[in-house]
Amino acid sequence: MINNQSIAEEIVRKFGDDVFDFEEPFGMLTFSTTREQIIPMLDCLNKHSEYKISFLTDITGVHYPDNSGQEFCVVYHVHSFIHNFRARIKVFLAEADLHIPTASELYASANWMERETFDFFGIIFDGHPNLKRILNMDEMDYYPMRKQYPLEDATREDKIDALFGR
Amino acid sequence: MATDIKIVESPEGYEGSGFFATSFDKVVGLARSHSLWPLPFATSCCGIEFMSTMASRYDLARFGSERPSFSPRQADMLLVAGTIAKKMGPVLKQVYLQMAEPRWVIAIGACASSGGIFDTYSVLQGIDRVIPVDVYVPGCPPRPEQILEGIMQLRELTHNESLRRRNGDEYQALLASYHIQ
Amino acid sequence: METLIAPQNKGNLTKDEKIQYVNELTTLNLGPTHPATHGIFQNVLTMDGENIIAAEQTVGYIHRAFEKIAERRPFYQITTLTDRMNYCSSPINNMGWHMTVEKLLGVEIPKRAQYIRVIMMELARIADHIVCNGILGVDTGAFTGFLYIYEQREVIYEIYEQMCGARLTTNMGRVGGMERDLSKESIQKINQFLKTFPPVLREFEKLFNRNRIFMDRTIDVGGISAERAMNYGFTGPNLRAAGVDYDVRVMSPYSSYEDFEFDIPIGQNGDTYDRYMVRNEEMWQSLRIIEQALKNLPEGPYYADAPQYYLPPKQEVYRSMEALIYHFKIVMGEIDAPVGEVYHTVEGGNGELGFYLISDGGRSPYRLHFRRPCFIYYQAYPEMCVGSTISDAILTMSSLNVIAGELDA
């Protein structure tokens, strides 16, 4: 039976204490794991004889500046075509040690997804073949999606606050 | 036989049997304004509206722009349609530099004119930050009729432009302000 | 004197000959501005004569920071951002976003609004495939097909204008339904479209489907196997051309797609010809869906009964106190969204378009991420074009339907 409950039980059986925080927001199984176990986890779900969760839908990052020790979260969405089952796996990382192994050996689509996450948040994916900026300019020296940086370009002259009465 | 074909008005001049004397400015202006070849620099949504302008309903070719050339050396007007990001700015400047004089620039859309709705760190707030612009066509995206109106305005400019303008001081000062030789 | 290395000797080369070989390779910069207006992204190709040895891509030339902008805007203003991702089929992006927010808020949409959404989304899908197949024809040199079929896109624009007022970047619909009902003129125009589009599409097919030159140029060009395609995260027509029948409309139906009967065309080799044929057939299937939706259009309201999220009609705002208060609260952003995270996907013109929304209870999202199909499958382009000639590489890029707005967002 492929449903949230049975897969959650199987994952707890295999990985024990390394998976935690099981939730089901809007029906999608969501759980967290550690960065050492994320690649074995993706591999296990991929190669499992019954589940066949073999499609990586998305990798993205989230910045929680208020959670000290767990500021960044890398979110993986996976999908099984055959059973129409989706899951979300989260890995929390601290700002001081922002490394996580790459999934690009397992899934070729992870290549650019990880580059985008690096470009926006500065999360380093160890083992990535070509980890450099993808959407922003190469010379940019900060990671724009982090919450402390503003949206607007501070050096623009024609849309300054004084002109808009701010 | 068609008797209602609209022919362009001839400029003022002196005519006699076998000759017509007028000023060079007027003839060259007439010829240029009726055969502006565009260089479409279409980056995003305004590019699709530009494609609509070139297609059969709002045909751009009937105004002389029969050949949208993608080679800068052979184009008269640069139609910048769409958002120009800061990463794209140097590329745009290089394409502009490769165009031969006389050259005109139309900024199509709000993003090309002033950055549009994208007041962000990665978008150039208007292409007139890097190249001089002749006509701005506002809209998001502008309807093909608006783009045609922009091209009509440019035809007015081209028709009345003096032959000495490109060598004059004012134009050279304009180019110098953009660091263009 | 240096001699060029003959092609037949390239197998066994000494070290000096290898260095000489590398010096003979050409580097060609394809982009960022290239003809046939595909959008701006760059490919640096290393070529041996006309054969491609390696390809390296640079994207980001139209990065507009949508995800950062979305953290500042209330939910109803983010629709304008979603328009500008896949701008050839804006209604699909809009509806997808509205459905995501409705999932978060727990709002039920009435059947009539769902059917109207389906009609608009399928029209958008037809419009997207018109552009893709037309431009594929232009890239092979056949301009006529594009001119014939592009006029139909103008007819679709007229239908959009009836519905929402805009042609291209539609900002159609609202969270909670549609902003206005399908008017009589709209229904008339859609019926007219259903009558006049099939002959035009058949004419277009006659120009291309069994055209000897087109087939020679596109069969076995830029192929990818189903396993590699899935590994690369392909979805949509590109994956279906490789043989995998994954369609979000069937697998996780949304907005009453389960009420309609339609087929999913799939290809065999995943090459350019298959992608062209899959998109062509999808246009026919979309016509089927629109016909069914129009015939069975249910009566009822076109918006949900959720006054705290959907703007009340203007007449009531001027007359009733509650409507005035709701109007004020929605526009000024006093409505609080529930805390939660939701991932919703729709079948966009290019594949699975996903919206990952994390809400912390305010009027803007805490984090909004767009799962953009173009960005994910464009990674596979070097694998698809290495080993072929440059003319094949152009067609492969054209048939992938890479839209720059969706690539960079």
pLDDT digits 0-9 by tens, C106-119: 999 999 999 999 99
CA distance C126 to chain A (A): 25
Whether residue B180 lies inside any domain: the answer is: no
User: pLDDT averaged over chain A?
Assistant: 89
User: Which pLDDT tens digit goes with each residue over B158-171?
Assistant: 999 888 888 889 89
Cβ contact, residue pair B122, C63, below 8 Å: yes
Pick B44's closest partner by Cβ from C34, C84, C146: C84
Considering chain C, what percentage of its residues have pLDDT values greater than 70? 96
Cβ contact, residue pair C408, A135, below 8 Å: yes
C65 at A interface, C-beta within 8 A:
yes
pLDDT score of C2: 47
Pick B85's closest partner by Cβ from C39, C61, C154: C61
Whether the pLDDT of residue C289 is over 90: the answer is yes
User: Which pLDDT tens digit goes with each residue over C185-194?
Assistant: 999 999 999 9
pLDDT score of C4: 55
A96 at B interface, C-beta within 8 A:
no
Cβ contact, residue pair B120, A153, below 8 Å: yes
CA distance B163 to chain C (A): 31
Whether the pLDDT of residue C7 is over 80: the answer is no
C364 at B interface, C-beta within 8 A:
no
DSSP 8-state class, residue A65 = T
Q: Answer whether C113's CB lies under 8 Å from C302's CB.
A: yes
pLDDT score of C339: 93
Pick C63's closest partner by Cβ from B42, B85, B91: B85
Neighbouring CB atoms inside 10 A of B104's CB total 23
Report CA-CA distances (Å) from B65 to B6, B39, C96: 18, 10, 39
The CATH code of the domain that includes B73 is 3.40.50.12280
Mutation choice for C interface testing from B46, B56, B83 by most C CBs within 10 A: B83
Considering chain C, what percentage of its residues have pLDDT values greater than 90? 62
CA-nearest residue of chain B to A158? B125
Cβ contact, residue pair A145, C68, below 8 Å: yes
End-to-end CA, chain B? 52
pLDDT score of C9: 57
Q: Is the peptide bond before A129 cis (omega within 30 degrees of 0)?
A: no
Tokens representing residue B55 in the block: 């297609």
Whether residue B179 lies inside any domain: the answer is: no
User: pLDDT averaged over chain B?
Assistant: 90
Spatial strand order of the sheet with B135-137 comes to: B38-42, B77-81, B104-108, B135-137
Residue C151 DSSP SS3: helix
Nearest to C63 by CA among B121, A5, A96: B121
pLDDT score of B110: 93
Q: Answer whether A42's CB lies under 8 Å from A103's CB.
A: yes
Q: What residues does CATH 1.10.645.10 cover in chain C? A: 66-408
pLDDT bucket at C1, cuts 50 / 70 / 90: very low
User: Which pLDDT tens digit goes with each residue over C226-247?
Assistant: 999 999 999 999 999 999 999 9
pLDDT score of C136: 92
By CB neighbour count within 10 A (0-12 exposed, 13-18 middle, 19+ buried), where does B165 fall? exposed
Q: Answer whether C184's CB lies under 8 Å from C190's CB.
A: no
User: pLDDT averaged over chain C?
Assistant: 89
Q: Residue B77 contacts by C-beta under 8 Å, 6 or more apart in sequence?
A: B36, B37, B38, B39, B103, B104, B105, B106, B151, B154
pLDDT score of C3: 52
pLDDT score of C5: 55
DSSP-assigned states of every residue in C282-312: HHHHHHHHHHHHHHTPPPS-SB-S-TTTSPP
Whether the pLDDT of residue C320 is over 70: the answer is yes
Q: Residue C8 contacts by C-beta under 8 Å, 6 or more apart in sequence?
A: none
Pick B120's closest partner by Cβ from A137, A152, A158: A152
- Chain B: touching chains (3 or more CB pairs < 8 Å): A, C
Give A-chain residues touching B114 at CB under 8 angstroms: 158
pLDDT score of C37: 52
Give C-chain residues touching B88 at CB under 8 angstroms: 32, 40, 61-62
Whether the pLDDT of residue C11 is over 80: the answer is no
Q: Is the peptide bond before C32 cis (omega within 30 degrees of 0)?
A: yes
Give B-chain residues touching A149 at CB under 8 angstroms: 121
pLDDT score of A150: 87
User: How many residue contacts between B and C have a Cβ separation below 8 Å?
Assistant: 90
pLDDT score of C199: 95
Whether the pLDDT of residue C10 is over 70: the answer is no
- Mean pLDDT over B89-106 rounds to 91
Residue A59, strand partner residues = A76
User: Which pLDDT tens digit goes with each residue over C112-138?
Assistant: 999 999 999 999 999 999 999 999 998
- Mean pLDDT over B49-70 rounds to 88
Q: Residue C326 contacts by C-beta under 8 Å, 6 or more apart in sequence?
A: C307, C308, C311, C312
Whether residue B141 lies inside any domain: the answer is: yes
CA distance B88 to chain C (A): 5
Nearest to C201 by CA among C302, C127, C124, C98: C127
Residue B8 DSSP SS3: coil
Q: Which domain holds residue B100?
A: 23-159
Cβ contact, residue pair B119, A151, below 8 Å: yes
Task: Say how many domains are in chain B.
Answer: 1
pLDDT score of C34: 78
Give B-chain residues touching A163 at CB under 8 angstroms: none
C69 at B interface, C-beta within 8 A:
yes
User: Which pLDDT tens digit goes with each residue over C58-86?
Assistant: 898 999 999 999 998 889 899 999 989 99
Whether residue B169 lies inside any domain: the answer is: no
- Which residue ranges in chain A fall short of pLDDT 70? 1, 165-166
- Chain C: touching chains (3 or more CB pairs < 8 Å): A, B
Q: Which residues of A touch C (CB under 8 A)?
A: 25-26, 28, 30, 54-58, 60, 62-63, 75, 77, 81, 84, 86, 88, 107-109, 111-113, 116, 120, 133-137, 144-145, 151
CATH for C66-408 is: 1.10.645.10
pLDDT bucket at C333, cuts 50 / 70 / 90: confident
Question: ipTM of this model?
Answer: 0.93
Whether residue B51 lies inside any domain: the answer is: yes
pLDDT score of B9: 83
pLDDT score of C36: 54
By CB neighbour count within 10 A (0-12 exposed, 13-18 middle, 19+ buried), where does B149 fall? middle
Whether the pLDDT of residue C197 is over 90: the answer is yes
Whether the pLDDT of residue C33 is over 90: the answer is no
pLDDT score of B115: 87
pLDDT score of A157: 74
User: Which pLDDT tens digit goes with each residue over C245-264?
Assistant: 999 999 999 999 999 999 99
pLDDT score of A17: 87
Architecture of domain A4-109: 2-Layer Sandwich (3.30)
Pick A109's closest partner by Cβ from C63, C231, C343: C231
CA-nearest residue of chain B to C59? B87
pLDDT bucket at C306, cuts 50 / 70 / 90: confident
